[in-house]
Amino acid sequence: MELELILNTIARALAFSTPLLWAALGEIYTERSGVVNLGVEGMMIMGAVVGFMVGQATGLPYLALLVAALVGTLMGLAHAFISITLNANQFVSGLSLTIFGLGLSGLLGRSYVGQPLNVAMKSVTVPFLSEIPLLGPALFTDQKLLTYAGLIMAIILWFFLNYTRWGMTLRSVGESPKAADTAGIPVNQVRYLAVAFGGLMAGVAGAYLSLAYRPSWGEGMTNGMGWIALALTIFALWDPLRAIGASFLFGAFFYLSFTKLQTVIAPELLTMMPYIMTIVALTVIALGQGKRAFGAPEALGIPYQRGER
């Protein structure tokens, strides 16, 4: 019985944390380039509403996903324009985009309320792998394609960031833009790309919610997930591989708070668990590794202006 609980937790943590993972991966790249995007929540919800609208109109959920990604990208570009080209306060820019996105999505989605999505993304069960004892049912049964894609994406992004020239370029822009500039790297162009990519990923994350996780549109349906993704970015120490672990851990504790544990621990205390465990986990990491563990990109949140300083 306890084994079953563990296996179920693994399966559900994967499904629940998929949007968190996608959004966090995007934000990791954004922040690695030195820009903070507090607009993740707004970009996610725009992705969710546009994804639903296109999905409902065409019956093609993967086309809808594409359009949602595009909308996320556009919002990312808006954030890039404001925070890089205009060199305006990137924190306020992100917050405004969140407020704007929550409002606009509600406006766009007004007539879609109370409708189920006609064609939702299907669950898949991976042949052969799902027959592995224990792990088969936990990892490879009845998951959405985007869940696997998220995991693969994390690995690709990790490899790309650490082992390719492009990845090095991105990191150098976030760590030391001046040195990167001297070396001939177009700092602001790289940042533009990274921020737009972050928007794209947030759009996908939102579309997962309205096309797969809960195939319908409801106002405010992201319900703070964008903020959790931002927190997970830090929790993952800006590393795509660790983002898998961070979002999985959060998802596991989220799921556990609704299991039969509720009969053992008061549910109102249990629902705090994911948040408490995040702090505990960070503290444990810090105790183990010391301050060095938390190497945020050196130039995070600092705009780069050629000729300054």
Window 101 to 130, contacts with another protein (CB under 8 A):
101-107, 109-110, 113-116, 123
Which member of 119, 145, 185, 234 binds another protein (CB under 8 A)? Answer: 234
Nearer to another protein, 55 or 109 (CB): 109
Which member of 136, 149, 227, 241 binds another protein (CB under 8 A)? Answer: 227
96 binds another protein (CB under 8 A): yes
Contact 196, 80 (CB under 8 A): yes
Which member of 127, 133, 184, 290 binds another protein (CB under 8 A)? Answer: 290
- Range 81-99 burial, b when 16+ CB lie within 10 A, else e: ebbbeeeeebeebbebbbe
According to CB under 8 A, which residues from 74 to 93 bind another protein? 82, 86-89, 91-93
Site string for another protein, 146-175 (x = CB under 8 A): ------------------------------
Which member of 24, 225, 244, 249 binds another protein (CB under 8 A)? Answer: 225
Rounded Cα distance, 216 and 236, in Å: 30
Of the candidate spans 69-77, 153-161, 163-171, 281-289, the one that interacts with another protein by CB under 8 A turns out to be 281-289
The sign of the torsion formed by the CA atoms of 52, 53, 56, 58 equals: negative
- Range 9-47 burial, b when 16+ CB lie within 10 A, else e: bbbbbbbbbbbbbbbbbbbbbbbbbbbbbbbbbbbbbbb
Would you call 123 helix, strand, or coil by DSSP?
Answer: strand
Q: Which of 121, 115, 106, 117 is nearest to 56 (CA)?
A: 117
Q: Which of 184, 225, 16 is nearest to 102 (CA)?
A: 225
141 binds another protein (CB under 8 A): no
- Tokens representing residue 66 in the block: 């594409």
According to CB under 8 A, which residues from 42 to 61 bind another protein? 42
User: Cβ 159 to another protein, closest distance in Å?
Assistant: 25
According to CB under 8 A, which residues from 243 to 272 bind another protein? 254-255, 258-260, 262-263, 266-269, 271-272
